[in-house]
Amino acid sequence: MKIQNPHDRFFKETFGKVEVAKDFLNNYLPENIIKVIDVDTLEPQKDSFINEELQEGFSDLLFKASINKREGYIYFLFEHKSYSSKDIALQLLRYMVEIWETKIKKEKSDKLPVIIPLVVYHGKDRWKIGTTLGEIITGYEELPEDIKKFTPNYEYLLYDLSRYTDDEIKGEAIDRIAMTIMRDIFTEDNKGLLDSVFRAVSYLLELDDKQTGIEYFETLMRYIFSARADLTRADFNAVVKKIDTTHPEGSETVMTLAEIFKEEGREAGMKAGEAKALARTAIKLLTKKFGLLPEEFKTGILKLDSPTLDVMIDGILDYKSLEEVKRYLQ
């Protein structure tokens, strides 16, 4: 079992929700494109087209929707490396071909649906390459028009988050939170990142559904602690203080997440006796969530190795019962 890349997890947990994806499209797609898309027909697809070699740098989401009154697809490619890929247009083309091939195989269709490709990028450096396939084909622009027609070319929509100011980040609260944090997660200055966290917390107050706010706050904090291991105890204390004064419902969540990602799990895990320290953390967190543990659970947990314990700890917030822990003990 492998711990999911924190950027991948945050992107999918956020934009994988239809309402968030719809809000993004309504606020960021060019007007001439959004007017031919019926966002109310948006339907997430389970397929992913990223191979294992590229999963550390890319994530993707595919949605089916009515485009120009016909079935089509919107493909999100999220690049979460700290630098842009020069061959992104070629990679995107490969993924679109895979989507078409999957469509043909599943439905035995000889017609291809429209696919609108979007690239979301949040690296440290600004995106400096073009957004068409033709720009990576040597001499494409110098070709006569009657020769160009024999060479495939297309354009993708680019959202380089590093270029967005606070005022340019639009949409409902969760969209603005995600865009702000993804933009600033690579900020070298911890204070700059904390300022973004505080801004994101203030956006949560706009949500009418407080439970949704608390749940997304967990997603947000899990992402920050996972992606930024360099945050100090002082940084964390500053977040706790801010939460206590502006969003008290989330203060307990902060403390639980801190124990998982900072204090006893991740930090102790890097010291001698890693497995033992992680086992104690798992037992403590499970006891806090489910009450006193049966002795066989404690004994089983103490026998687990560090990678397994790490995965178990990473999922504790999502467990609904102790039955979900048994799979690690068998």
The answer on 270 and 243 residing in a single domain is: no
The answer on 203 and 158 residing in a single domain is: no
Q: What is the pLDDT of residues 151-181, one digit of tens each?
A: 999 999 999 998 999 999 999 999 999 999 9
Rounded Cα–Cα distance for residues 40 and 230 (Å)? 41
Q: What is the pLDDT of residues 36-86, one digit of tens each?
A: 999 999 999 988 898 877 877 889 999 999 999 999 999 999 988 767 788
Domain count, the chain: 3
The answer on 323 and 273 residing in a single domain is: yes
Rounded Cα–Cα distance for residues 271 and 303 (Å)? 18
Highest mean pLDDT among 65-74, 192-201, 257-266: 65-74
The answer on 302 and 236 residing in a single domain is: no
The answer on 146 and 33 residing in a single domain is: yes
SS3 content of the chain, % helix, strand, coil (to 5): 55, 15, 30
Q: Could you tell me the residue range of the domain that residue 292 belongs to?
A: 264-330
The answer on 120 and 11 residing in a single domain is: yes
Residue 60 near residue 95, CB atoms below 8 Å: yes
Whole-structure pTM value: 0.73
Q: What is the pLDDT of residues 225-252, one digit of tens each?
A: 778 877 777 777 787 777 777 766 666 6
Q: What is the pLDDT of residues 289-304, one digit of tens each?
A: 888 888 888 888 888 8
